[in-house]
Structures are given as structure tokens and as C-alpha cells.
Structure 1
Amino acid sequence: MAIQSKPVPALYTVYILRSTVRHASLYIGSTPHPPRRLSQHNGLARGGAARTSRPSLRPWEMVGLVSGFPSMVAALKFEWALTNPHLSVHIPSDSRLTISTQRKANGQPRRPSKSLSSILSNVHLLLRVPSFARWPLKLHFFAPDVYAAWKKWCATAKEDLRPTLPVVTDFGTKPLSDTENAADSGSTTASDSEVEMTQPEDQEATATPWGIHALPLDYEPIKEYVAKGQAVFEFEQEGDCVVCQQPITSGEGIHAICSNNTCEGVGHLSCWSRHLLTASEGTGTSSSDNIIPIQGECPKCHGEVKWSDMMKELTLRLRGRKEVEKLLKTKRRKGAVAAKTRV
């Protein structure tokens, strides 16, 4: 079977669904389009899941999700591990938090019942096990009580998440008071230092999208970055590698470009990887044990670059011709009109 090469998706998430009628009813799923998937679970669009189809439990809400998966398969692996933490091979046996105490008729371990606490504790665990710890993931919370439960778990967890893992909240309500913010700053986990508050004061009055409706569903946020990459490589303006300083031969090898808007620094993929791995990443682990970079400083502009952003642009350039054409079509049409005008 041929393997289809695709670019890193604009968005792919693993989400936590909760019944607004019965908060104890929870569901875990994955999707590249959270608003559409929520509509399906609530019966407003075709699709959904049988387990969320009971009218007595609707409407459902997405109270949290993990984003940044590099592919659909990657998200499905995380989803399965979160749904089956008692069986997942991604969780070392000595670290397992969920244990099955019953058996099915066929002798297989029965899946333990889920609770908000068990789901959040296993999210925390999966985000720091070797299989997922260095993935370019981001954690989102859309309900204050769920975020509070997360904070409670983080305060008692034996291990912290890596400091560079972002934790974002968006409740669609008034921002936290100074007192509440001060109380939050007492913990030393990554959740505290990386939280970004994006909370419209009056959702109905401002009509400002929030929560899952504010998530970027396409490549629009990196449009300028993609356009810069297209221009540099199409016109063979790579120059010398910003890391090893050796000339780059256009069309030979795989090259990545700095993600900062004013920088056109290009380097061999292997050089970028080595440079970012040896840079100080604040992960608390030895770079010699890692093969996936996270972030670092561009040798040319000295601005911060993230490996995940660079790989998204690189895979779009090499594997996503249709996606790039769709993203840049407005700009290209304007250029075509200008060319005709000059003629």
C-alpha cells in the first residue's frame, strides 16, 4: 500500500466533551474541525457518535482539548491512549494511573469508568511520557471549573510538564481578578507560566468568537511565512546555511527557513535540528537523549523559532501544493491583474 505524504495539518485536536445536562457524562474524540464536530455530537449536522446521541444528554460542550498534532494518525494515537490509559503501551507500567480491576467475558481488561479527574490526570501523564513529551502540543481549556480541576491536579502531580508546553484558557467571560491571578501564580508547573487569557467580556454583545470557535482551522495564521518561503525557494535565494555557513544548492536536499517575518535565513534541515537540539530549551533533559527539537534562536536574526512552525511551512512547501495555492490565491490573483495592467 502506498504511503500518502501530506503536510502537517493546520489543526488536529483531541478533545474532551461534557454533557451540559449531566456533567458526569464525558466523551473523548479527535477532529480537525472542533466546531463542526460539536455540531455533529449535538445532532445539528450529520455524523457524531452513538454514545453522544441520547437526547437526554444534549447539548454537549467541548471543555478542553489538545492541539498541535503533526498528523491525523498522531492524534488518533493520543486519543486511543487517553481513552484506554489502562492498556496504552505509551504509558510505562510503573507510571500508569488507571488500572483495570474487572475483566470482560473474553478475558480482556474492562475499561474503567471515566471521570473528569481521571481524564485530566491522564492528559497530564501523556503530555510528559517519552512518546508525546516533545511533540508540538498545546493544551486548551474552555470551562473555568475544568481548568480549576487541572490546576488542582498540577499542584499535586509528582512531575511537572516541560516549561515550553503552552496552556491556554478561553472562557468567554470576564478576565480573572487580580486576586485570582495572584492565587494562580503560586504553583510552579508549566500551566502557570504559559497561560494566555483570551476572554471576551460579553460574547453576545461583541459577537467575538471564543473557545473552539476562535481556533484557527486553516493555514491563514502562517500565510506570510508560507509566502516568504515560496518566494525564497522559487527564486533560488537560499544563500548559505545559517548554521554551518556552507553554500546551499537549490533543489538538492531539504532546507528550512526561519519563521520570523523579517528574516530569510535558510539552513539544511539537519543543521537546524542539531542547532536547536543543542540550544537551551528549558526542558530539563539532556539534548543527547532527544531527536525532536522544540525551539531555539535563529543564528541569523536571533529571534525565537519553533520547530513545529518550521515543519508546518516545510511540509506545505514540499507536500501541499494545493493547500499553498488555496492559501495564496488572493495574492496571486492581484499579481496577475497587475501584470495584465502593465501589459
Structure 2
Amino acid sequence: MPVLSKPIPPLYTVYILRSTVRHASLYIGSTPHPPRRLKQHNGEAKGGAARTARSTLRPWEMVGLVSGFPGMVAALKFEWALTNPHLSLHIPSSSRITTSAGTKRNGHPKRPRHSLTSILSNLHLLLRVPSFARWPLNVHFFAPEVYEAWQKWCSTANEPLRETIRVLTDFRPSPSNPNNSESPNADNDSRQPWGIHALPLDYTPMKDYVTKTQSIYDFEREGNCVGCGEHLDPGKGLYATCPNPGCECTGHVSCWSSHLLGKEAGEDIIPISGTCPQCKGEVVWGDLMKEMSLRVRGTKEIEKLLKKPRKRNARAESST
């Protein structure tokens, strides 16, 4: 059965779960929908891992996560490496922080027990290794004490993270805030969302970008490649367009790659970011690829994104 190509998902994450009853109990997982996944872990919806099913440890909370993965497989690779840092080949033996805690009966290495410090230290390490360092990843923290522990580790780490990896915080509002939720992860539409409930779960943040590119490609206004100068024949190549508002700078994906890599071009590595040669605004490679994959593979997703809301019935309006 052939594998169907899909666009880069709007969100895919690897998260850190913590018991609100016993903070030492931690779990690592991956999901494209953190709010739904949290409900599963807490027994409010079907699914969830057996290791989080103990009622004495519920409710659980997501205290941090990494977003920006280009798909499920990429997130699963990162999740496995973070869960098994003593085995992961993504971590060079000379850089390994965590070692196995003995051996199992079958002779395989036993996974060491997770602690917040071990997870954060290995997270920092994984974000620096070649396998993941060039991905358009973001690190989110939703608990102040977890973010403080992260900062403490970063201050002692031998190497800093790349500047392109953003570290974001979104803590629970103070009790004095009228928009405050009653529980750490309450999902209430009448209150200001925060934490995992404020994360974009669909392509809505890309609506303006997609609207612009649809106009360019539908009306065949590609023009000449910003890199090599060749005319871009409509529908005959992989093209990408600058994401900045008002800029229609378009070119071959390979030319964009060479431009963003600069001196690194030709080294067979993934670009990270740079500036548009036309508007001089910032261009993130991950944004270019997400829009292009949506345009090429996500016809249904684009139709849903750009679908105009239905007008209210005149009779219904007159009765209100």
C-alpha cells in the first residue's frame, strides 16, 4: 500500500509530563495535539500511556515541550533519543551525560530513572547535536520552576544553543487575574488560554502567507527566480516565496537553499534562516518548507484554511 504524502503538520511536539501529586514522576511523549493528549493521560479521554494510568499520580501536567518538528517520524526520533539518552546514537559516546543503570535479564541496558535535571540536560544536549541542531525547533516552558532549572543548566553548559532555537515561556496567570483558570490546564473558551491551550493546532497563523502565495501561483505571477534569474515556468518546478508581508520574492527551492546557506552552500546541510534578497526581512527555512508542502500536498487543508465563513441568514439576523 503506497504511503500518501502529507504536508508538514501545523504542530508536532515532544513533551515533558509531570505528576501534580508527585513531581518526581515524569514522562516523555510526542503528539500533534497537546491538549487532547493531556486529557488522555488524565483519563478524561480514551488513550494515554499505561505508565500514566495510576490514579495516585493524576492529574498530570505538561510542564514543557519542544515544537517545530517536520512530522511524526522526526518527533518520534527525538522522543526516543530523549527517553533513551543512554542508548541513542544521536549522542556521541564522548558527550553522553546519562549512562545505563545496569542490565536487564535479557542483557540489554536498563534505562536510568528520569529526573527533571537529567531530562533538561539531555534536552539541551540533543538540541546541539548535528542530528537536530539545524531543525526549526522551539522550546516551551509552562512552569516557572522548570524554566528556572533550565536556565540554571544553560548557565553551566559548555556550549550554548543556536540562536535560531527559540526558548518561550507561558506561565499560569496569577490568581488575581480575572482571566485565570481554576486548574493548571483547564480548557475554558471563556477565559484567556495559556500554556498548551494557547498553542496553534492548525494552519491559522499561516493564513496571510498562504493567501499571498495562492494569488501568486494561481495567477502565474512567479516571475524570475530571485537566485539564478531564470524564468519560473508555472507548475514546472518546486518554488518557494518569501513569507514577509508585501514581498513576492519567489525562486527555486535550491536557489533559496544556496542563498540562505551562504558560505555553507554545497556542504549538504539544511539551511536555518537568513534574509530575503529583495525585502531584506528575515526568512526561516522551516517556514518556506511548511508553506510549500501545504501548497503542493495540502489542497484540502488550504481549502479549509481559506474557506469564507457562511453569512448568517437574514431572517435569523432580524430575529436577534
Aligned to 2:228: 244
Aligned to 2:289: 311
User: 1:172: how far off?
Assistant: 2.2
1:219 to 199, 203, 207: 203
| Alpha-carbon distance in structure 2 between the residues aligned to 1:290 and 1:278 | 12
Paired residues for 1:78-97 under 5 Å: 78-97=78-97
Paired residues for 1:270-285 under 5 Å: 270-278=254-262
Aligned to 1:9: 9
| Alpha-carbon distance in structure 1 between the residues aligned to 2:80 and 2:114 | 14
Deviates more, 1:230-239 or 1:201-210: 201-210
User: 1:204: how far off?
Assistant: 3.9
Aligned partners of 1:173 and 1:201 also within 8 Å: no
Tell me whether 1:208 sits opposite 2:185 in the alignment: no
Paired residues for 1:183-198 under 5 Å: none
| Alpha-carbon distance in structure 1 between the residues aligned to 2:150 and 2:266 | 32
User: 1:164: how far off?
Assistant: 1.5
Aligned to 2:317: none
| Alpha-carbon distance in structure 1 between the residues aligned to 2:21 and 2:44 | 17
Q: Relative to total residues, which structure has the larger helix share, 1 or 2?
A: 1
Aligned to 1:99: 99
| Alpha-carbon distance in structure 2 between the residues aligned to 1:132 and 1:253 | 28
Tell me whether 1:229 sits opposite 2:206 in the alignment: no
SS in 2 for 1:145: helix
| Alpha-carbon distance in structure 1 between the residues aligned to 2:3 and 2:261 | 29
The TM-score normalised by the length of structure 1 is 0.85
The TM-score normalised by the length of structure 2 is 0.91
Q: CA RMSD in A?
A: 1.7
Q: What do residues 203-252 of structure 1 show as CA deviations (whole Å, max 9, x unaligned)?
A: 24982100000000000000111111111111111001112222111111
Q: Which runs of 5+ in 1 are unaligned?
A: 175-199, 280-285, 335-343
Paired residues for 1:120-159 under 5 Å: 120-159=120-159
Q: Percent identity?
A: 67
| Alpha-carbon distance in structure 2 between the residues aligned to 1:76 and 1:204 | 31
Paired residues for 1:255-334 under 5 Å: 255-278=239-262, 289=267, 291-330=269-308
SS in 1 for 2:308: helix
| Alpha-carbon distance in structure 2 between the residues aligned to 1:210 and 1:53 | 25
Aligned to 1:195: none
Aligned partners of 1:277 and 1:290 also within 8 Å: no
Deviates more, 1:201-210 or 1:116-125: 201-210
| Alpha-carbon distance in structure 1 between the residues aligned to 2:82 and 2:273 | 26
Q: What do residues 51-77 of structure 1 show as CA deviations (whole Å, max 9, x unaligned)?
A: 111110000000000000001000000
Aligned partners of 2:68 and 2:138 also within 8 Å: yes
Deviates more, 1:223-232 or 1:1-10: 1-10
Q: What do residues 118-162 of structure 1 show as CA deviations (whole Å, max 9, x unaligned)?
A: 000010010000100000100000000000100010011111100
Aligned to 1:172: 172
Change (3 A) 1:156 1:318: same
| Alpha-carbon distance in structure 1 between the residues aligned to 2:210 and 2:245 | 10
Q: Which runs of 5+ in 2 are unaligned?
A: 183-189, 312-320
